[in-house]
Amino acid sequence: MPNQPEQTKMRTGSRVVIDALEQAGVTVAFGYPGGAIMPLYDELLDTTIEHVLTRHEQGAIHAADGFARSTGRVGVCIATSGPGATNLVTGICTAQMDSSPVLCITGQVPSALIGTDGFQEADVLGVVTSITKQAYLVRSVDDLPRVMAEALFICKSGRPGPVLVDIPKDVLIAKTSKTCEPVTSLPGYHPAPKLKSSAVKNAHKILKESKQPVCIVGGGCRLSDATRLFREWCDNTHVPVITTLMGLGSTEPGYSGWLGMPGMHGLRRANRAIVDCDVIVAMGIRFDDRVTGKLAAFAPDARIIHVDIDEAELSKLIKVEAPIHADLSETLAAWNALLDEDPIEVFDAWQKQAMDVGDGLRPNDAHDADNIPPTTLLDEVLELIGPDAIVTTDVGQHQMWAAQRVRPSDPKKWVTSGGAGTMGYGLPSAMGAQMACPDQRVLAICGDGGFQMTMAELATVARCKLPLKILLMDNKYLGMVRQWQELFFENRYSAVDLSDNPDFAALARVYGLQAFTLDHVDEMSSTLSAWWNCEGPALLHAVCHLEENVFPMVPAGAGLGDMVESA
């Protein structure tokens, strides 16, 4: 029988979803099946898309997020209705806060049961509305081709973000002849604002008038694929550069004016430069409270230039003198061209002055040799793995210690939950990154608290034979909370004790991973080498000092000039 013409070919809702994903170049989806989403899982058997079965929906969405951040492509996760969908919520919020392009496809109970408190029914649209860039409940299969095309477009365009498509089971089964070409515009949606050359000229003029400028670059550099242009801008200006938690890796690893991370656990020289500078060039940042500290004390003498694709970020928290509402890549291309035409006097002297302030990092407190000093460990690990490995983290002390030290060669090689601060992110996001980049080395740095939130994903790692390495820094506390209780709650430790942690190495072996234990300083080099160089997935359980603190630290509510460098 001859093929039917495309416009009259009937497809099920499930096939529409798969076709849309394939057409968009999706090769991997992470998910967990259940009743309402079964028609889609049946269709997944007949597709080129590789499905990774995680052990919890949270693992699936964090993996999709890690996939997205390490590639810049859309990460896809799938879950069923009710609890399946609500288990995605933390991951959706994580993606939203860090502008990660994650597409969530959830099954919903059959249309007739919606609103009847049916089995595994939840108002998913209502739950996720405020934490998604856009969310859909598809009521008719005829709408599905358009909705999928819109969802994929919205997810990735402009300032990226998570999009959820909730599909009732009967819609997945029903057939339609409708098709939809990829969407490239939507009414009222302006993802690519037009760059005004006058705005760039104004910024250039302010920079020329400056004596002590500082650039703060954030996650927008990665999202805009602006790394090469940004590095060119740095070479043209020699402006000292501060990279936020989300912007780490934006500078060349050897850039002489890299001041490090700013803010609550920022480096001394970064925070000092913000206090002392006369101009801030903010690129793709959102002036998070962890970056600014007390707003009134933030860069008190500085004129602010702010480039962002999202107009709502301009002057949201800090009054901006020169807003540039545009894509960062486009802006940098124009600014670099202007710098060629009208060069500025580079800021070498100021750069040296800013660098000479020092990083404020201190050696670990003296302890016995039977436990591992965490920052020494991280120094050695980061030296061992080099700048080209992809590093993911959980959230807490280990994340801040790593952020103070890591020098990735590209911002896509640093995957961490910034805005949401989601514990349990490290392991599943590493899975996503490893699936996305099978030829690259991937390291997940986890704390003992966060690791136990998603450690069931060790089964996924083992099944998929993902050769990622896990560094588990175990200090038997919820360390960051304990640190705050020590410093701000008079040592009254409340609900932070993890002294009965399991033997994590034994646990990893049960799941089929290789595992190493490091509990003595003298064995550090040899154990690290054996762990990092072994074949396949492997976990290193590092038994760390119990009560090490992260310094420097700017107490909550204080200005960046009020850094504390020791207890």
Partner 1 sequence: MEILTFALHLHRMSILPKILMLCQRLGGEVTYVSAADGRANIVVAAPNEAAHRFAPQIRRLIDVLELTELHAVGLSDADAQTTQERLRHTA
Residues that bind partner 1 (CB under 8 A): 129-130, 133-134, 154, 186-189, 310-312, 314-316, 319-320, 323
Residues near 497 by beta carbon (within 8 Å), at least 6 away in sequence = 476, 477
Report the nearest approach of partner 1 to the CB of residue 321 (Å).
10
Closest by CA to 158, choosing from 326, 282, 334, is: 326
Helix (H, G, I), strand (E, B) or coil at 189: strand
Nearer to partner 1, 194 or 319 (CB): 319
Q: What six digits make up the tokens of 18?
A: 């798969």
Report the nearest approach of partner 1 to the CB of residue 394 (Å).
27
Nearer to partner 1, 203 or 239 (CB): 203
Nearer to partner 1, 323 or 419 (CB): 323
Closest by CA to 241, choosing from 351, 141, 151, is: 351
Nearer to partner 1, 133 or 476 (CB): 133
Q: Which residues pair with 54 in a beta bridge?
A: none
Q: What six digits make up the tokens of 97?
A: 């806060």
Report the nearest approach of partner 1 to the CB of residue 319 (Å).
6
Exposure of 46 by Cβ count < 10 A (0-12 exposed, 13-18 middle, 19+ buried)? exposed
Report the nearest approach of partner 1 to the CB of residue 206 (Å).
16
Q: Would you name the residues annotated as active-site residues? A: 57, 119-120, 169, 480
Contact present, 245 and 416 (Cβ < 8 Å): yes
Report the nearest approach of partner 1 to the CB of residue 421 (Å).
18
Nearer to partner 1, 169 or 325 (CB): 325
Angle at 462 between CA 537 and CA 471, to 5 degrees: 40
CA dist 215 to 33, 218, 219, 279, Å? Answer: 46, 10, 13, 8
Q: Give the number of C-alpha atoms closer than 13 A to the C-alpha of residue 438, restricted to the C-beta side.
A: 7
Nearer to partner 1, 249 or 323 (CB): 323
Task: Sort strands 469-474 and 538-543 into parallel, antiparallel or unpaired.
Answer: parallel
Report the nearest approach of partner 1 to the CB of residue 132 (Å).
9
Q: Which residues of 266-304 are buried (b: 16+ CB within 10 A; e: fewer)?
A: bbbbbbbbbbbbbbbbbbbbbbbebbbbbeebbbeebbb
Position 74, amino acid: V
Report the nearest approach of partner 1 to the CB of residue 260 (Å).
30
Nearer to partner 1, 193 or 387 (CB): 193
Residues near 526 by beta carbon (within 8 Å), at least 6 away in sequence = none
